[in-house]
Amino acid sequence: MTNVQQFHLPDVGEGLTEAEIVTWLVAAGDVVEVNQILVEIETAKSLVELPSPFAGEVTELHAEPGDTVEVGKPIISIATAGATTPTPSIPEARPATEDEPKLLVGYGAKETSGRRRRRGAATPAPAAATPAPAAATPAPAAATPAPAAVRSGPVRCKPPVRKLAKVLGVDLAEVTPTGLDGIVTRADVLAASTKTPDVMPPPAVAESSVDEIRIPIKGVRKHTAAAMVSSAFTAPHVTEFVTLDITATMELRERLASRRDMKDVKLSPLTFIARAFLRAMERTPSSNSRWDEEAQEIVQLRDINLGIAAATPRGLVVPNIRAAQRLSLAELADAIADLATTARAGRTTPEAMSHGTATISNFGVFGVDTGTPILNPGETVILGVGTISRRPWVVGEGVDERIEPRWVTTLALSFDHRVMDGQQGSELLADTAAVLRDPALAVL
């Protein structure tokens, strides 16, 4: 005999009330073993993999990636064979609390008094309490196993009707079926599309009309937005630009790249720009500092932890290179390459993104000339690097003066005017540009 067991979302971190489903590693129809990893969830404390308490066949996933689920709610059903496995204890479901402090260990967030026991009051229903929408995907052909995102729920209807529901933004789970054997008909969908649903479901990507797609703000996007708002509206930004002939640096790069000991080093122009910037920062100590509002102090830092902004499939991340000013050119090149590889693989740790003191954003790789970068919160300077391209440039003097095609780029430096003034900012940018124009200056 089979026996369908539900796995309820456990409190994996001493006092957590909810978690977000990140990735399902199994789908309905899969056969799983005890302790096989089913799902990755993200709590206020960490990313956690949940192993299966049961052996058997997955019959249903109760939440979609991106859903926030309350502790104690079922997340998966598994049909187990033979004798009944004892059902795991179900922790009492508690209403979600917002803005929990992120604790490493301990007993979770303190709840505001009265909140925990408030019942049926004005608190809006938490996301997980409303039924998850049926992903309006046509049922898979019988032979192919159901992909993870498809709900094998009770909603039955024909594929063209499903498509219609998707186009009209109708949640099939909410439609009252009138067809034979509980099948949702075209008329049902049309009827449902004209009335406003009682409860708006919060789907992962709700297609509420054909003209707009609503994407929940979360994860890296949410983090980036918060960081940018906090930076843009606390640190008064000044941005300065310099356009320069970087040909000498490009030639130096080619010369060094052909050296045997640089064979395995990825010497990008960015490496040279970073090196010139680090050198200039060392000569302008106020640039490597932090505004401490609370203490009413400017904190000057010894090491430059240089962040490199990286565009990844998950969004913008800014891991940093610790004490970058101490690295040789080859070490710096390696560090930048490692950082980018790790970031693109989505494996950048929060630790690698903390303690940054300055940032370089290489938006030139997207083909743009320049921009006005926004400071990474807590930092005083950020350097934006524009595209490096062949442009006409005036060279020579007097009778030798002529126009030649040269490698040219534009650097943009934003700085926090609370910490630095125009003089220091200008010196920092001019100093960086001078070394790139004439790398020989670096020996001075």
Partner 1 sequence: MTDDLFSLLSPDGVLSDAANASVDLRGMFSDMVMSRRVDTEAIALQRQGELGLWPSMLGQEAAQVGAGRALNPRDVAFPTYREHGVAWCRGVDPVSLLGLFRGTTLGGWDPTANNFNLYTLVIGAQTLHAVGYAMGIVRDGDVGTGDPERDRAVLVFLGDGALSEGETNEAFVWAAAQNLPIVFFCQNNQWAISAPYSVQSRVPVAQRAQGFGFRGVRVDGNDVVASHAVTVEALEQARAGNGPTLIEAFTYRRNPHTTSDDDGRYREGAMTDDWTTLDPIERLRTYLTTIGTDEDFFAEVASQETELSERLRAGCRALPDPEPASSFLHTYAEMPADLERQMNDHLEYVAAGEADPA
Active-site residues, by number, are 417
| DSSP-assigned states of every residue in 241-288 | EEEEE-HHHHHHHHHHHTSGGGTT----HHHHHHHHHHHHHHHSGGGS
Is 51 among the residues that bind partner 1 (CB under 8 A)?
yes
Is 395 among the residues that bind partner 1 (CB under 8 A)?
no
Query: Are the C-beta atoms of 412 and 383 separated by less than 8 Å?
Result: yes
Can you tell me which of 2, 4, 33, 34 binds partner 1, judged by CB under 8 A? 34
Over the window 94 to 133, marking each residue x when it contacts partner 1 by CB under 8 A and - when it does not, the resulting string is ---------xxxx---------------------------
Is 53 among the residues that bind partner 1 (CB under 8 A)?
yes
Q: Which amino acid is at 148?
A: A
Can you tell me which of 12, 129, 168, 252 binds partner 1, judged by CB under 8 A? 12
CB neighbour list of residue 402: distance below 8 Å, 6 or more residues apart = 394, 395, 396
Closest CA to 425 of 434, 416, 436: 416
Q: How far is the CB of 88 from partner 1 (least distance, A)?
A: 5
**Considering beta carbons, is residue 86 or 124 the nearer one to partner 1?**
86
**Considering beta carbons, is residue 87 or 208 the nearer one to partner 1?**
87
b/e sequence 48-85, b meaning 16+ C-beta within 10 Å: bebebbbbbbbbbbbbbbbbbbbbbbbbbbbbbeeeee
Q: How far apart are CA 239 and CA 372, in angstroms?
A: 6
**Considering beta carbons, is residue 203 or 319 the nearer one to partner 1?**
319
Can you tell me which of 50, 246, 327, 419 binds partner 1, judged by CB under 8 A? 50
How many residues lie near partner 1 (CB under 8 A)? 32
Please count the other Cβ atoms lying within 10 Å of the Cβ belonging to residue 205: 12
Is 47 among the residues that bind partner 1 (CB under 8 A)?
yes
Scanning 8-16, 222-230, 271-279, 355-363 for contacts with partner 1 by CB under 8 A, the matching segment is 8-16
Please count the other Cβ atoms lying within 10 Å of the Cβ belonging to residue 227: 17
**Considering beta carbons, is residue 36 or 137 the nearer one to partner 1?**
36
Is 352 among the residues that bind partner 1 (CB under 8 A)?
yes
Is 331 among the residues that bind partner 1 (CB under 8 A)?
no
Scanning 6-14, 137-145, 267-275, 364-372 for contacts with partner 1 by CB under 8 A, the matching segment is 6-14
Can you tell me which of 5, 10, 17, 247 binds partner 1, judged by CB under 8 A? 10
Q: How many residues does the chain have?
A: 444
C-alpha count within 13 angstroms, C-beta hemisphere, residue 183: 11
Q: How far apart are CA 444 and CA 441, in angstroms?
A: 5
Is 84 among the residues that bind partner 1 (CB under 8 A)?
no
In the complex, the residues that contact partner 1 under the rule CB under 8 A are 7-14, 34-35, 45-53, 86, 88-91, 103-106, 349-352
